[in-house]
Amino acid sequence: MSHIVDIFLQPGRVFAEQKERPTFLVPLLIVSAFAAAFTLAYFLSVDPVWYLDHAIAAGGQEMSAAEMEQARKFMPGARVMGYIGAASTVVVMGIVMLLYALYFLVAGKITGNAVGFKHGLSLAAWSSMPTVLGGLVGLIGVFTMTPQTPIESLALLNFDPLLVELSRDNRWSTLAKSFSLLTFWSAFLTALGWKTWGRTSWLQGIVVALLPNVLIYGAMALYALSK
């Protein structure tokens, strides 16, 4: 569908058309597919022994060789983690979309611009299309990586590792590794969609788009500061 290309090149047109006939399945499936593919590809390519050691070390505890052997027995292998990860990614994506739709519903009620649930879902799904680019970059990364690469270093559009490289002990590490720069693009699309449908000002659109992000990343920032 032309929408898939247009969401990147002419997003205004996509939202205008979505207003009449909201769809969400296609973007949802594409976004989930890329995310799942990245996860699966990573776990099938990574050195499984190295990954287990790395994951245990990431747990933060110092363990002797014997204890690590024990932990290895309990942890699932890399391939299994790949399948589980891929499946759970799809499920989580769906749940997040639904939550966003609910949020848009409430926001619509508050601002006086009624937004139906289906519209909300459509807005959430189409706004998250930029994450496909992140998945694409990640996939390219997986196929060119050495087998001993941590998954965080493949999310090249995140704050860490693109702009900074913080060690695990740094308090801002978790926040930097979670914040994707594509969030800005997605927020822009959400604002655009909101403005287009409700004929509101840009300000309202931006506020609606950024509020969840501010809440979530703000909470992470506060937690990091408290450390």
Partner 1 sequence: MKFNKKWLAAVLVVAVVAVPLIVKKARGTSATEVDLAVVAAQQVQPSILASGVLAFRNEVNLTAEVTAKVRTILIKEGDTVTQGQTLLLLDPEIYNNAIEREQASLRQSRIGIERQRDLVALRQKTYERSRVLAEQRLIDRARLDEDRNQLDLARADLRTSEESLLQAESVLNDAREQRARTEIRSPITGRVVSLPIKVGETAVPSTSAFAGAQLMKIADTSEIIAELKVDEADIAKIDIGQRAEVFAAAYPDTPLKSTVEQIALAPTIEGQGRAYKVTVRLVAPAELKLRSGMSVRSNIFLGDGQRKPAVPVEAVVIETEGKDAAKRYVWLSRDGKAAKVEVQTGVSDDRWETVLKGVAAGDTVIVGPTKSLRLLREGEAVIQRKAPDADKAGDDAGDDAS
Binding stretches for partner 1 (CB under 8 A):
8-11, 47, 49-50, 53-54, 57, 62, 65, 130, 133, 136-137, 140-141, 145-146, 148-149, 153, 156-157, 161-162, 167, 169-170, 182, 185
What 156-159 contacts at long range (C-beta under 8 Å, 24+ apart), as own/partner pairs, is 157/133, 157/181, 157/182
The encoded tokens of residue 133 equal: 């680019």
CB of 113 to partner 1, least distance (A): 25
Residue 33 neighbours by CB under 8 Å, 6+ apart: none
CB atoms within 10 A of CB 202: 11
Nearer to partner 1, 101 or 160 (CB): 160
Shortest reach from residue 174's CB to partner 1, in Å: 15
Pick 73 or 227: Cβ nearer partner 1: 227
Cβ closer to partner 1: 98 or 136? 136
Identity of residue 175: L
Shortest spacing between CB 35 and partner 1, in angstroms: 16
| Least separation in angstroms between CB 52 and partner 1 | 11
Provide the token pair at 161: 């590792």
27 vs 120, which CB is nearer to partner 1? 27
How is residue 1 written in tokens? Answer: 């569908």
Tokens of 42: 């990573």
